[in-house]
Structure 1
Amino acid sequence: MTAILAPFTFGLSFFLLGMYVMRTGFQNLAGKKMADWLGRFTRTPVHSFWVGLLSTMVLQSSSAVTVLTIGLTHAGMISFSQTVGIILGTNVGTTITTELIALRLETFAVPMLLVGVALWLMPRRLTRCIGLVVAGFGLIFLGIDTMQVMAKPLEQSDAFRSLFLESRHSVWIGLITGMVFTALIHSSSATTAITMGLMSHQVLSMETALAIVLGANIGTCFTAIIASIGTNAASRQVAWCHTLFNLVGALAFLPFLSQLAMVSSLLTDSPSMRIAHAQTLFNVVCSLAALPFTRQIAAAVQWLVPDRKRRRW
């Protein structure tokens, strides 16, 4: 148990700290302009989509962009209908992190961390911010490398083997595992990174790994739901739109995991890259399919999560 928990705890801590440090660096570089972008360039669904995608690429967190969107909606700076495109864009933007993780850059973890710290010690603000981004990436890859140590003892664990055998028969277990774990740690990227590590040691089947990733897409919405507590109806609609979209997309793709695995295997031989490409395909297909129907989606969510104050009047 110690051989599993120790590398998992330290690795996950390094990973989440790296995400925070990298996000802090990006926010200092462009965070102040992010709210302006979200407020000014969301007049059409296509513009909203690109704003969501680019914002998520910069902040490296779909949850952070969604929470920011909830805040702007609560403040009345943007309407709920403008946020649907942003939500679709965040789902595509978050795949950039997964693709970077799949590049297997663990050997550069320590050099990147050292370079990042050296840049952070420089006097210029721009250099310090870049240093935070570089150091953050270094911590992320160091965390991934550390978490991979748990793969061998986990593979030999009787409890995990029995769970793995059950998940082979039912992808629902993988879906729920990814959803619950991501909701607890508030990072779908961390869940995907752990899944990639297990896949590289052939501990999981491809279908099970993809089910976990789909579950992580649902679990990441938990942060937005928490952020919407105590806000107005429009803000709650943003949170539930994000949740329902990811839930419906995951359930729609669940019967086709074998086909998704086959398509991703045609693109690369690397198990980690297969997961990254499959997640990218899933998010791109779902977002682009929904983009022409943003008004209908907004109307449906407004019906499901009504504004009670307006109804009284």
Structure 2
Amino acid sequence: MINIITQFAIFIAIFLYGMTVMRIGLYNLSHKRLKQVLVNMTSTPLKGMIIGTLITAVLQSSSAVMVITIGFIAAGLLTFKQSIGIILGTNIGTTITTEFITIDLIYHAIMPLLLIGALLLFTRKLLSFNIGAILFGLGCLFVAMNGFETLAKPLSTIPVIHSSIELSNENNLIGVGLGTLLTAVIQSSSATTGIIMGFMSENLVTLSSGIAIVLGANIGTCVTAFIASIGANVESKLAAYAHIWLNVFGVILFYPFIKFLGAAAAMVTSLPDVQLAHVSVIFNVLSSIIALPLAGLLAKFILRMHGKQA
């Protein structure tokens, strides 16, 4: 049992390491305009959502974009109200990772990605280094995904994990809690989704349970931004609260429609992991579109709820 858990922890570490390395390469290729774009092109919630989506798609991490946003707010470069549109965009942009790791053809390119990426990492040219970081990081993601699928069945034999899976399969609310807790611990909703995809590929987790866990992952990912706001100014804390409330409201809104979301995804593909990726996109896009015209009301709600304590 210890060996299985150790291997699982190693694959989580490989996944997070791959995300970090890939993010470094992507960030280095785009950082010169990142600050300018975030500060100058978020004057309305719609613009903020578009920019938040694009930057999250580039950095492959909603948590990273939220930490950057909170840092800019703390520095007085952005306002709390500007952050609402960015938050909506980060929720959409982060779904690109889960869609990307469902592409089966890339699994056959794992070794070339790792080898070419590693070689480019040792070059002196910055452009080559950044491309190498992207390729090597991508290779690590697919190594981890293979690991999750391989370890899914052995992990399911561990009593605690077996009980958790059974409970989440029977009760979607437990699945939401499990997704929240797991993401809060490993600090990556993409990693949580990747793990659940591995379990679903082995038919250990039902589609409804997988969707519930992904909904919970959206709440769990707020922990990173909340930690980043500790000790910062009032507007930074308000942005962190807005991030939490937006995701909580989204989960509450779509929780009753889990079966409908699953049925919609099943109409598009028969592959369980791809179904989950599609549901993640549908949930986050619809949540952001619904919340967009209510951005002003949300800002007032956050100020009323947390203005004094922030």
TM-score for both structures, normalised by structure 1: 0.95
- Which SS does the other structure have where 2:43 is aligned? coil
User: What is the 5 A alignment of 1:1-313?
Assistant: 1-104=1-104, 105-307=106-308
- What is the letter of the counterpart of residue 100 of structure 1? F
Q: 1:308 to 1:276 in 2, by over 3 A?
A: closer
Asked if structure 2 preserves the Cα contact closer than 8 Å seen for 1:7 and 1:149, the reply is: no
The CA distance in 1 between the partners of 2:45 and 2:163, in whole Å, is 46
The CA distance in 2 between the partners of 1:164 and 1:128, in whole Å, is 41
- Which SS does the other structure have where 2:255 is aligned? helix
Asked if structure 1 preserves the Cα contact closer than 8 Å seen for 2:23 and 2:134, the reply is: yes
Asked if structure 2 preserves the Cα contact closer than 8 Å seen for 1:10 and 1:146, the reply is: no
- What is the letter of the counterpart of residue 82 of structure 1? Q
Asked if structure 2 preserves the Cα contact closer than 8 Å seen for 1:110 and 1:138, the reply is: yes
Moved more, 22-31 or 165-174: 165-174
Asked if structure 1 preserves the Cα contact closer than 8 Å seen for 2:74 and 2:235, the reply is: yes
Cα shift at 1:28: 1.0
Cα shift at 1:158: 4.3
The CA distance in 2 between the partners of 1:160 and 1:227, in whole Å, is 31
Cα shift at 1:307: 4.9
Cα shift at 1:155: 3.4
Flag structure 1 segments of 5+ consecutive residues without an equivalent: none
- What is the letter of the counterpart of residue 140 of structure 2? L
Runs of 4+ in 1 over 6 A off after TM superposition: none
- Which SS does the other structure have where 2:30 is aligned? helix
Residues 175-233 of structure 1: per-residue CA shift (max 9 Å, x gap)? 11110111111111000000000000000011111111111110000000000001111
The CA distance in 2 between the partners of 1:140 and 1:175, in whole Å, is 24
The CA distance in 2 between the partners of 1:162 and 1:308, in whole Å, is 39
Moved more, 159-168 or 117-126: 159-168
Moved more, 3-12 or 36-45: 3-12
Flag structure 2 segments of 5+ consecutive residues without an equivalent: none
Asked if structure 2 preserves the Cα contact closer than 8 Å seen for 1:63 and 1:221, the reply is: yes
Asked if structure 2 preserves the Cα contact closer than 8 Å seen for 1:4 and 1:153, the reply is: yes
The CA distance in 1 between the partners of 2:120 and 2:3, in whole Å, is 35
Moved more, 297-306 or 152-161: 152-161
Residues 235-268 of structure 1: per-residue CA shift (max 9 Å, x gap)? 0011010111101111221111111100000111
The CA distance in 1 between the partners of 2:110 and 2:160, in whole Å, is 32
The CA distance in 2 between the partners of 1:293 and 1:144, in whole Å, is 37
Cα shift at 1:46: 1.4
Cα shift at 1:3: 4.8
Tell me the matched-pair count: 309
Cα shift at 1:78: 1.3
> Aligned-residue CA RMSD in angstroms?
1.5
Residues 44-86 of structure 1: per-residue CA shift (max 9 Å, x gap)? 1111111100110111110111111111111111111111111
The CA distance in 1 between the partners of 2:41 and 2:76, in whole Å, is 15
The CA distance in 2 between the partners of 1:252 and 1:8, in whole Å, is 33
- What is the letter of the counterpart of residue 254 of structure 1? Y
Cα shift at 1:6: 3.0
The CA distance in 2 between the partners of 1:4 and 1:174, in whole Å, is 23
Asked if structure 2 preserves the Cα contact closer than 8 Å seen for 1:210 and 1:257, the reply is: yes
Cα shift at 1:303: 1.3
Residues 3-56 of structure 1: per-residue CA shift (max 9 Å, x gap)? 531331121111011001001111111123212111010111111111100110
The CA distance in 1 between the partners of 2:169 and 2:153, in whole Å, is 19
The CA distance in 1 between the partners of 2:236 and 2:13, in whole Å, is 31
The CA distance in 2 between the partners of 1:129 and 1:74, in whole Å, is 29
- Which SS does the other structure have where 1:183 is aligned? helix
